[in-house]
Amino acid sequence: MFFVGSIILPGFSQDKPDTQGKSAKVTVLCYHTFLGSGKYPTDFSMAEFREQIETLKNNGFNFISISDFLGGSISGDKNILLTIDDGSESVYRVYNDILKPLDIKPLLAIYPAIIGVKKYALTWEQLKELSDAGCSVASHGFFHEKIDKKLFDLSEQRFMYEIINSKKMLEEKTGRKIEVFSYPFGLKSGETVEALKKNGYKAAFTIDGGICRFPLKNDNTIFDLPRYMITRTTWKSTFDKVFKKTSK
């Protein structure tokens, strides 16, 4: 359920523990592309990504969906929510070749401006197929602008277009409600959070490293959820941090 000014989500109430009656932890990982070109720090080959997923699974980590996350139906320390930002065409291949056989349902944060337009991006048909297969979709803005106070002061119309029209188009194209937001560049402001609340979003992710601990402390935490952005230079140190924190 969503109430502006008073947000009530299963699993997010300060008084409600997880289903095992204990606190739970979720580590959210943020990926981008799987081209194997080596041109970008956020790009991995399919083989590298497969190895990383297998490393997590071999260390006892459980992959959850955004529905599990929002519903609070989690327990224990070793939970991973996999998110993939932007909408690269390589997501289609990595899901079908690696994630689908392992029954891993990532959250795809999409900005509509490139879908079906850029050769490197998913088509709308591919995104719909992924959505129908169980991948959840989040808004990542419309043009991937920096949706912070600077943009709000410059043009409130442009600011709101990123939040409202991205949601509208993604819902029209996928046939599903869009209730989660991923901040482009990890940037936000008080105006951003307030606009998300007023326009039907239930949660939003940053790229501030950290682990989500359940039950979350307060309503504002839902719009300030941490993720680790995985790059070629940080993935090993990030995984080492995750292993250390979840082994305590």
Contacts 24+ apart (CB under 8 A), 127-134: 127/87, 127/173, 127/174, 128/173, 128/174, 128/175, 129/92, 130/91, 130/92, 130/95, 131/174, 131/175, 131/176, 133/95, 133/100, 134/65, 134/105
Q: Mutual orientation of helices 124-132 and 156-174 as an angle, nearest 10°? A: 60
Range of 47's domain? 24-140+204-246
Residue 42 lies in a domain: yes
**C-alpha–C-alpha distance, residues 167 and 148, integer Å:** 18
**pLDDT at 9 (0 to 100):** 35
**pLDDT at 13 (0 to 100):** 34
Each residue's pLDDT tens digit in the chain (248 positions)?
222 232 233 343 333 333 333 589 999 999 999 999 878 999 999 999 999 999 999 999 999 999 999 987 889 999 999 999 999 999 999 999 999 999 999 999 999 999 999 999 999 999 999 999 999 999 999 999 999 999 999 999 999 999 999 999 999 999 999 999 999 999 999 999 999 999 999 999 999 999 999 887 766 789 999 999 999 998 888 888 887 767 65
Residue 189 lies in a domain: no
**pLDDT at 8 (0 to 100):** 30
Residue 196 lies in a domain: no
Residue 129 lies in a domain: yes
Residue 15 lies in a domain: no
Count of structural domains, the chain:
1
**pLDDT at 220 (0 to 100):** 73
| CATH number for the domain harbouring residue 84 | 3.20.20.370
Residue 195 lies in a domain: no
CA distances from 40 to 61, 63, 144, 230 (A): 27, 26, 18, 12
**pLDDT at 11 (0 to 100):** 40
Residue 161 lies in a domain: no
Per the rule left: phi > 0, alpha: psi between -120 and 50, beta: everything else, 163 is: alpha
Q: How many helices (H) and strands (E) does the chain have?
A: 8, 9
Angle at 91 between CA 86 and CA 47, to 5 degrees: 125
Residue 194 lies in a domain: no
